[in-house]
Amino acid sequence: MKLRLQASVALAVLCAAFATQAQERLPVRFDNWLYFQRNTDDSERWQYRPRVYAPFSLGSGWTFTQRADFPIYYTNRAGPDNSDGGWKAGIGDWFVEETLGTPELAKNTKAGVGVRFVFPTGGLSPFGSGQYQWAPTLSMSYAMPDAGLTLSPIARYFMSYHASEDAAAKVRRLDLYPTVTQRIAQGWSVSFYNENAISYNDITSKWFVPIDAMLIRRASKDLEYGIGAAYGIKKDDPQYKSMVYGRLTLYF
**pLDDT per position in the chain (252 positions), as tens?**
444 545 454 555 555 544 544 445 689 999 999 999 999 999 999 999 999 999 999 999 999 999 999 999 999 999 999 999 999 999 999 999 999 999 999 999 999 999 999 999 999 999 999 999 999 999 999 999 999 999 999 999 999 999 998 889 999 999 999 999 999 999 999 999 999 999 999 999 999 999 999 999 999 999 999 999 999 999 999 999 999 999 999 999
What is the rounded CA–CA span in Å between residue 18 and residue 16?
5
Domain count, the chain: 1
> What string of DSSP letters covers 159-216?
EEEEESSTTPPP-EEEEEE--EEEEEETTEEEEESSSS-EEEETTTTEEEEEEEEEEE
Decide if 233 contacts 240 (C-beta within 8 A): no
Instruction: Give backbone dihedrals phi and psi of 5, rounded to 5 degrees, phi first.
Output: -65, -45
**3-state class (DSSP) for residue 119:** coil
Question: How would you class 144 by CB atoms within 10 Å of its CB: exposed for 0-12, middle for 13-18, buried for 19 or more?
Answer: exposed
pTM of the shown model: 0.89
β-pair partners for 148: none
Cβ contacts of 251 within 8 Å, gap of 6 or more:
27, 28, 29, 30, 221, 222, 223, 224
pLDDT of residue 23: 47
Residue type, 26: L
pLDDT of residue 211: 98
Q: Which of 66, 158, 175, 176 is nearest to 120 (CA)?
A: 158
**Domain coverage including residue 65:** 2-251
The CATH number of whichever domain residue 148 belongs to comes to: 2.40.160.40
Instruction: Give backbone dihedrals phi and psi of 125, rounded to 5 degrees, phi first.
Output: -55, 140
What is the rounded CA–CA span in Å between residue 160 and residue 129?
9
What is the rounded CA–CA span in Å between residue 120 and residue 128?
6
pLDDT of residue 238: 95
Q: What sign results for the dihedral spanned by CA atoms 100, 105, 111, 113?
A: negative
Instruction: Give backbone dihedrals phi and psi of 106, rounded to 5 degrees, phi first.
Output: -150, 175
pLDDT of residue 26: 87
